[in-house]
Each structure stands twice: as C-alpha cells, then as structure tokens.
Chain A
Amino acid sequence: MRQHPWLFLFPALLIMSISAFVPMMTVVNYSLHNIFAGSSPEFVGLENYAAVLSDADFRGALVRQLFFTVTILLIEIPLGVLLAHAIPHRGSGMALSLVLLGIPLLIPFNVVGIVWRLFAQSDIGVIPSLAALAGYDYNVSLHAVDAWLTLVALDVWHWTPLAALLAFSGLQAIPPAYYQAAAIDGASTWSTFRHVTLPRLRPVLTIGVLLRFMDSFTIYSEPLTLTGGGPGNTTTFLSFLIARKASSYELGYAGAASIIYLYIVIVLSYVFFQLLSGKQGATAR
C-alpha cells in the first residue's frame, strides 16, 4: 500500500479542474464586470450582485424555485419509499419492476417535456380531453395553476422512480433478523417502520433527497419544453431566468445570479446533508 492517493486522484482532478474550476472563474469574472456585446468589459465590483438581489424577477424565480422543490420532495420521497415496499424482493418480478422503474430516468429531459406536452397540450392531449369531460377547462398555456400542476406531475412522474430505486436498495440491505426481532418485541407496523426501516434507510434517503434537491433546483429543460416559463412568468425558474439573461448577453447579471444561485444550492445541500446524515462529517459514507 505504498501508492500515494494523489496519484489516483490526479486524472479526475485534472478533468474536474478544467471542466469546473476554469469556467467557475470565468463566471466570477463576468459577475464583476459590466459586459456589453462589442465594447470592452468595465469593472463594476459587486454592482451586479446588488442588481440581482434587488431584482424582483430574480426573487420571484427563487421563491417559485423553493416552492417547487419542496413540493416535489414532499411527494417523491414518501411515494418512492411506499413503492419500494411494494416491489417484490426477489425473482423475475423484482428484475421487471427495476427495469420498468429505470425507463423514465433514461428519457432525455426535453423528451420528457415532449411526452408531457403531448399529454397535456390543449389541442391534442389526453388530460385536457379528460378534463373537458369533467367540465373543466384545462389549459397549460393559459392557466398558471394548470401549468404548475402539470410541471409537478411531470417531475413526480420522471423522478419518483429514482427515489423508489434508492429506497428499494436500502430495504434490501436490511437483514430480516431486524424485522423478526421487532415482531418478537411486539412492535406495531408503524413502530417497526419508524424504528427499524427508517433509520436503516437514512443513508440512501439522504442521497435521494440530495440528488432530487440539486436536480430539481436546477430544473431547466422541462419547463422550457412544456410551458416555456409561462403563462406569464409563473413557471420561470432560476436556471431558466439565468439562461435567458445569458442568451441576451447580460453576462454580468447572469454571472452574478449564477454565483448567488450556486451558493444557495451548496449551502442548502450542506444543511440537508448535515440534517439527514446525522453529523457524520462532510462525506457520504
């Protein structure tokens, strides 16, 4: 065991530095300048940050973002745990369930958007046709509530399988003796879940919550394809806002917004991580 760990880490760190560190510094650089197409950048210090933080658009997007993320986490994680309990523990039933659950995860994000757009589009979709039968005028491009609900449904549809797969792997790792002991100790179903299942699922659920938090907080393609951020800006989330600013060459604003955004993601992830993993330090073990 004489090999040095850094030797093993070097290739990964090299790629990560090029892929992450350089662009990150570029973003920081943007955020400190006022950049307009054609003219040379002008150093403006933290002005862009002030502009972002006082911008109602940014704050609106942030609130929507938080609300969206909390909503889908509250649905996806419990639903995933419930589903994991329903998956057969062995045999072909298990393999089939795992394969079926894996499929939504492998559909390109924008195709997920297309699938749901087909499903929810007012002139050709299933949902509007069914809603019309119930006397409800369902229209994603006109009603903010419909757009919002459809987006939540999309995300739940797309990502609950991930939570279910993670929870299932956690359940599989619980030795049967724990359940036998709980039965002998006279624990009720709820008590067994609370004291045997849940503590043992904690590591995988930590991973699940973190992944879903990061990914839903950075959601971009789905609202782009499904709603285009509308109606109005009711489904305009942070990534969406930043990409829009960047593509209209407000790079200073976009850069500052990106840094603030990333900062929020990292801090919240860290908080989640600490809360869920029960102070085990900064590694997922």
Chain B
Amino acid sequence: MKKRYFLLALYFLLLFAPIYWMLITSLKTDSEILAEFTLFPKQITFEHYREIFGSPEWRGSFANSLIYVTLNVLITLAVAIPAAYAFSRWSFRGSHHLFFWLLTNRMAPAAVFMVPFTELYYAMHLFDTHLAVALAHCLFSIPLAIWILEGFMSGIPREIDETAYIDGYSFPRFFVKIFFPLIAPGVGVSAFFCFTFSWVELILAKALTVTEAKPIVVTLTAGIGAEGVKWGLLSAAGVLTMIPGALVVYFVRNSMAKGFSLGRI
C-alpha cells in the first residue's frame, strides 16, 4: 500500500514540476528570467498579469475562447444526445458503419481540414465568427460525445423506456424526467471532454479567425518565434489559460468520479 502511494506522489511531483516552473516564471521579472536559474522568484511581480488584464486584445481573445467553447459544448450535446440514443436503442441497417464513419472523423488530422474549412466558412459568411470555430470543433467533439454517451445509455436497461411508455409517459416527458437524470453523469463527462477539446484546440481556431473571434490560444502564440520572446508575459498567459480547465475539472469532479466508478468511460 505504501509503495503505491509513493509511486503516485512521485508521479504527481513530476506532473506538476513543469506547471510549477511556468507559474514561477510568470511571477519573475524579465531580467531575472534571463539572468539566472532560480527555483523561486527572488522578487514576486504581477506586472505580467497586469499587462494582460490591461490589454483589450488579451481580454477580448479570452472572452472569444470562452464563447466558442460554450457554443461548441451546447451544440454538441444537443445533437449527440439524440444520436447516441438512436445508436444505443436501435440496431438499424448500416448503424455499425455509420458509427465507424463518425469515429473516422475523430481521426482526421485537423491540419487536413485547415484550408477547406477556411473556404467553406468564407462561402457561408461565417468566417471569423465564434460560430465558425464552434461548428468546426463539432467535427471532433460530436463523434467523441456520441461514443461516450452511447456507452452510458447502453448501460441503462431498455425496460426502463418500456415501463415509462406503459405508464403513459410521452417520449419527451420520459426523456426529460426519467432518462436524462440517469445519464446525467455521462452528459457531464461528455461536456467535460468537449470543453477540453475545444479549449485546447489550436489549428482550426487559428485558421478560422482573424480578429473578431481570435481565441486566446492564438494570441498566445503570436509572440513566439519573434526575437526576444516575452517569457514572463507568455507564462502568465499560459497560467491564465489553465484556470478555466481547472475550474471545469473541479465542477465535474463528482460526475467524473461517478462515471469512472460506473466504469463507463
């Protein structure tokens, strides 16, 4: 038992070492970052954070990211829940192939879709909007959500549906009152994965936006590669992009634990 927890503790130490390094880098002055190797800032400074919060560009792109991520989660769940229900409750002609086709889209490298997406959304007058990014991310998040939700729904006996019909429930009422509460942990887990994916994705978000919907991840990379990278600023921005993720994990921790203990992920 002791050995197991030692292993786990060691792993978490390694896991958080790079994050710790980024955190303290964000709190160091630019001269300290470049001048010497210190495991703790000699002088803690919030100038980098101040610069970010003071800049409309940073603030705007932060908001942009949150908007398209939320849109993506909502669209994905709205279409994936019925689709997963169809896959879990009916075995219709071609259902297996359709399922695999959906999954193959999960496999498509984002780089492959970069240019055609740009053209498509130009044509649809959606280019550089939040909706464009949200829809593009659906390409990956819908198959994943269907996959996860289908697993949860298959774990719920059909008899529950049938009993509800016998009791005179209409389909929508059954779905909202009975079925949805049962799969709520699955919905939570799916939402978590969709959020994650959309939040961390860079290629499509970058290709589909210029200024109006420019996401934080793109603003972040703008400075990279140029002479004299502003490491302190970059670290501070990096730390800030981790916060929504950490919050989401914190809020879904219960449904995650439930989902995990059901073994349905």
Contacts and interface: CB of A to CB of B under 8 A. Distances in A.
A99 B253 contact: yes
A173 interface: yes
A262 B12 contact: no
Contacts of A8: 82-83, 85-86
A125 B254 CA distance: 37
A17 B95 CA distance: 16
A168 B256 CA distance: 12
Interface stretch (B49-57, B72-80, B176-184): B72-80
A254 B202 contact: no
Nearest to A11: B79
Contacts of A26: 115-116, 119-120
A102 B193 CA distance: 10
Contact of B95 (A5, A22, A111, A239): A5
A27 to B, nearest CB: 5
B111 A115 contact: no
B40 interface: no
Contacts of B127: none
Contacts of A22: 116, 120
Contacts of B119: 26
Query: Counting chain A CB atoms within 10 Å of each CB, which of B86, B120, B138, B217 scores highest?
Result: B86
Contacts of B15: 100-101, 103-104, 157, 161
> Is chain B's binding surface mostly helix, strand, loop or mixed?
helix
A106 B107 contact: no
Query: Counting chain B CB atoms within 10 Å of each CB, which of A23, A98, A124 scores highest?
Result: A23
B225 interface: yes
Nearest to A120: B18
B245 A106 contact: yes
Contacts of A214: 106-107
Give the size range of A's interface with the partner: 35 or more
Contact of B34 (A27, A124, A169): A124
Interface in A195-226: 204, 207, 214, 217-218, 220-221, 225
Nearest to A214: B107
Interface stretch (A44-52, A69-77, A83-91): A83-91
Given A5-B90, A108-B199, A118 B111 contact: no
A142 interface: no
A99 to B, nearest CB: 5
Interface string B159-197: 001100100000100000000000000000000000110
A282 B18 contact: no
B156 interface: no
B157 interface: no
Interface string A242-270: 11001000010010001001100110011
A177 interface: no
B210 interface: no
B17 A114 contact: no
Contacts of B7: 82-83, 86
Contacts of A107: 200, 238, 241-242, 245
Nearest to A29: B116
Contacts of B203: 220-221, 239, 243
A97 B231 CA distance: 30
In order of increasing CB-CB distance, the 7 nearest A-B pairs are: A173-B263, A106-B245, A218-B109, A26-B116, A23-B116, A8-B86, A258-B112
Interface of A: 1, 3, 5-9, 11-16, 18-20, 22-24, 26-27, 30, 82-83, 85-88, 94-95, 97-111, 114-116, 118-119, 123-126, 129, 157, 161, 165-166, 168-170, 172-174, 204, 207, 214, 217-218, 220-221, 225, 228, 238-240, 242-243, 246, 251, 254, 258, 261-262, 265-266, 269-270, 281-285
12 contacts: A12-B82, A23-B117, A83-B11, A103-B15, A109-B217, A115-B18, A115-B238, A214-B107, A242-B112, A243-B203, A282-B100, A283-B95
Given A16-B102, A106-B200, A282-B100, 14 more contacts: A1-B165, A5-B92, A20-B139, A26-B115, A83-B11, A87-B8, A102-B249, A110-B220, A123-B34, A218-B110, A220-B109, A243-B111, A266-B104, A282-B99
Interface of B: 4-5, 7-8, 11-12, 14-19, 21-22, 25, 33-34, 37, 75, 78-80, 82-83, 85-87, 89-90, 92, 95-100, 102-117, 119-120, 135-136, 138-139, 142-143, 146-147, 150-151, 154, 161-162, 165, 171, 195-196, 199-203, 216-217, 220-221, 224-225, 231, 234-235, 238, 241-242, 244-246, 248-250, 253-254, 256-257, 259-265
